[in-house]
């Protein structure tokens, strides 16, 4: 009975708040080329809400948008890469976020250049990390895409799905509230007092 007093008290206060799923909530916005020069794009949707629950080590796959070329052919000005940026802004479990940057451009290939298509390629292989709280990390992985491939010098309207995988790779270090530290101190003093009385 005496030996269980201190371990039981410590177990009560050491229960981690991060052992339950953490709720992530926020938004994203897409900035892209919607006029020449560059391959003119159709992005749908160009932003929206994000909401999911994750435990450490878990991941969530989210469909961000469909990308298409809003042109009938790849011309010389479409061969130049132009930026495409997705800006993430989370409000829960704290305020954090950041941009993912990539580029889009047109490609002409095939016999006599009869195949035209669009390319989306992310910087850093599509991977970046968002930091939050006290050491928390949410990794984001984005997929490259080929889209709107067409033959006979014409782009097709078929789009490609761009997805984001959110992986909760590291939990923040939970800092006890001052009131909780005071309560723990009183509890330990009480346990020490009881043990001294029993020892006497």
Please tell me whether residues 157 and 181 are part of one structural domain: no
Domain enclosing residue 103, as ranges: 22-173
Are 189 and 167 part of one and the same domain? no
pLDDT tier, 17 (very low <50, low <70, confident <90, very high otherwise): very low
Co-location of 96 and 4 in the same domain: no
Residue 117: name the closest of 103, 104, 99, 100 by CA. 104
Taking each continuous run of H as one helix and of E as one strand, the counts in the chain are 2, 11
Q: What is the pLDDT of residues 133-167, one digit of tens each?
A: 999 999 999 999 999 999 988 898 899 999 999 99
Q: Are 26 and 12 members of one domain?
A: no
> Residue 83: which of 109, 102, 96, 66 has the closest Cα?
102
Residues 62 and 104 in one domain: yes
**Both 61 and 156 in a single domain?**
yes
**pLDDT at residue 198, rounded to an integer:** 65
- Average pLDDT score over the chain: 86
Judge if 167 and 181 occupy the same domain.
Answer: no
Q: Considering the entire predicted model, what is its pTM?
A: 0.78
* DSSP label of 71: S
Say yes or no: 106 and 169 in one domain. Answer: yes
Let me know: does 171 contact 71? Beta carbons within 8 Å. no
Beta bridge partners of 171: none
| 15-24, 41-50, 65-74, 179-188: range with lowest mean pLDDT | 179-188
Both 118 and 187 in one domain: the answer is no
Q: How far apart are CA 191 and CA 195, in angstroms?
A: 6
Are 38 and 85 part of one and the same domain?
A: yes
Same domain, 109 and 50: yes
The burial class, CB within 10 Å (0-12 / 13-18 / 19+), for 9 is: middle
Which CA distances in Å does 64 have to 48, 50, 67, 142?
Answer: 8, 9, 10, 9
In this structure, the answer to whether residues 185 and 168 fall within a common structural domain is no
Identify the H or E element spanning 129: strand 127-132
Number of domains in the chain: 2
CA gap 16, 33 in Å, rounded: 46
């Amino acid at each position: 009975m005496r030996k269980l007093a201190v371990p039981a008290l410590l177990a009560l206060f050491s229960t981690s708040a991060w052992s339950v799923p953490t709720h992530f909530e926020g938004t994203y916005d897409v900035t892209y080329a919607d006029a020449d020069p560059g391959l003119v794009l159709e992005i749908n949707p160009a932003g929206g809400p994000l909401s999911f629950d994750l435990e450490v080590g878990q991941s969530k796959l989210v469909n961000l948008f469909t990308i298409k070329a809003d042109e009938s052919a790849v011309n010389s000005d479409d061969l130049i890469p132009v930026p495409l940026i997705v800006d993430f802004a989370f409000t829960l479990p704290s305020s954090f976020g950041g941009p993912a940057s990539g580029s889009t451009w047109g490609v002409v290939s095939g016999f006599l250049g009869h195949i035209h298509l669009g390319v989306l390629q992310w910087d850093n292989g599509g991977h970046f990390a968002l930091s939050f709280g006290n050491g928390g990390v949410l990794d984001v992985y984005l997929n490259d895409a080929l889209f709107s491939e067409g033959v006979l010098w014409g782009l097709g309207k078929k789009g490609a799905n761009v997805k984001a995988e959110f992986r909760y790779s590291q939990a923040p270090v939970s800092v006890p509230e001052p009131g909780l530290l005071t309560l723990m101190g009183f509890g330990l003093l009480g346990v020490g007092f009881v043990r001294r009385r029993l020892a006497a």
